[in-house]
Amino acid sequence: MKGKKFTIGCRILNTPCTNSRPTIQSTDTTAIELDAPQDAVDVEDFPEGGIRAWLVVTGASLTLFPSFGFLTAIGTLQDYWARHQLRFYSSRDIGWISGLLLYLWLAAGLIVGPCFDRYGPRWVMLLGSVGFIAMFILLAHSSQYWHFMLSCSIIGGLSGAMLSTSALGTVALWFKDRRGFAQGIAMAGSSLGGLLIPIILRYAFPQYGYAWSMRILAFMAMFCLALGNILLRKRSAPARTTESARPSSRPAISQQSIISFSILSDLRVSLFAASVIGLELVLFLTQVLLPTYATAQTAYPTDIGFYLLAVCNGASVLGRLGPGYISDKLGQFNTLLAMILFMQIFTVALWLPFGHTSLGSLYAFSALFGFGTGSWMALIPACVGQLCPPGEFGRYYGVIYFLGSFVTLVSVPIGGQLLEGVSGQAMIGFCCAVLILSMVLFALSRWACLGRKWVLWEKV
């Protein structure tokens, strides 16, 4: 049959989170013109290693170092702006800068994800790199509120979405059975960035001033992103079902509409997305407002916020690597559920009662929070890869984080209002309530993956 053409109508059915292939069922809705099976590329034949695959992981880690690293360290800059350029604005007003940054970073994935699936990482990465470097250059000259909204929130958010989607999506094309560990190594780059950027700024601000501190970050980003653009390469064209599939035929699997929410009809995905919304709210609210929370306690040093973020992001390196490796043995869903419970316990037992009275307890919570949420950052993309068909990671990732973007837009302003208007304890209590709800929704998503059965010791 080599060289012959045939036309079929097909659709991919949702399957549980197992290693089995999706089933094909006949339908008359879409025609896909394919070459004979001998010429097809098996998109499920993942390399799972090798020099080329690990270079991709290295490139992803270098890409996430300045991008996601900056995102996790944004609380340091927000605290600085509150004491200098934007000292006449409230925490709630300043919170909209980081809130809009987070919103666009996640929401833009709705378009960036399908573009990545179709065209691969090259041009998406390049455009995101140029925009992200430009953000630092513009921040160096920002002095008014709208300057920060334009440079940090809009330009930084859109370009950051391109970088993070390209990095995580490319890793997902090279690994399946070892995806949790590979994504963990890639995400460790963001932890190192979140660890080093606050420390760099801590010493650069008084020695070189604000403007040159931003330029230092721009040069660092330029170096890392240049290497990331070189090392990130697609394994196969994710936009096509086979090597010779015709772009004009617009198959349902690989050339769907840019914006599509049809994946939410799958109960596994919709419950998972709802859980991720809550996790992202707690994650970014705490990371952004933890320095502000600490400096608001009169008994603590004014520069405590820098060191808390450094401890948090340092511990998150271990959180990305350790649970990521374990998840390949026990299952991504099982490991992530355990880590959500882990964070719930220590938030209630440590931060809520002792965060405002004991500096040692606050440092301990920062380390545990970094470890716990670090595992979230590594395991959520791995779970997305487990839920989606091969070659559609970008679309699933984009839709899920688009939904999460709405709560991140308001999470920091809400947290800032609770912190200033009520108390730090009220903000922490709000986080605890959201964590409980997210844990329940995630457990239900796991239940749906297991065919709507409650099975405790099943790898999923």
Tens digit of each residue's pLDDT (9 = 90 or more) over 204-220: 999 999 999 999 999 99
pLDDT band at 24 (very low <50, low <70, confident <90, very high): very low
pLDDT band at 169 (very low <50, low <70, confident <90, very high): confident
Domain coordinates in residue numbering, the chain: 5-39, 51-238+254-449
pLDDT tens-place string over residues 385-405: 889 887 788 889 889 989 988
Closest CA to 364 of 375, 377, 353: 353
Judge whether 197 and 73 are in contact, CB under 8 Å.
Answer: yes
User: Looking at residues 426-449, what average pLDDT do you find?
Assistant: 94
Half-sphere exposure (CA, 13 Å, Cβ side) for 4? Answer: 5
Backbone angles phi, psi at 229, to 5 degrees: -65, -30
Identify the residue with better confidence: 153 or 5: 153
The DSSP letter of residue 38 is: G
User: Beta partners for 33?
Assistant: 7
pLDDT value at residue 298 = 64
Identify the residue with better confidence: 38 or 233: 233
Q: Is 364 helix (H, G, I), strand (E, B) or coil?
A: helix
Closest CA to 408 of 148, 134, 102, 132: 102
Domain 51-238+254-449: assigned CATH number:
1.20.1250.20
Report the percentage of the chain scoring pLDDT > 90. Answer: 35
Task: Name the range with the highest mean pLDDT among 29-43, 61-75, 123-137.
Answer: 123-137
pLDDT value at residue 377 = 85
pLDDT tens-place string over residues 325-354: 898 889 999 999 999 999 999 999 999 888
Is the pLDDT at 3 greater than 50? The verdict is no
| Alpha-carbon gap, residue 352 to 360, rounded angstroms | 14
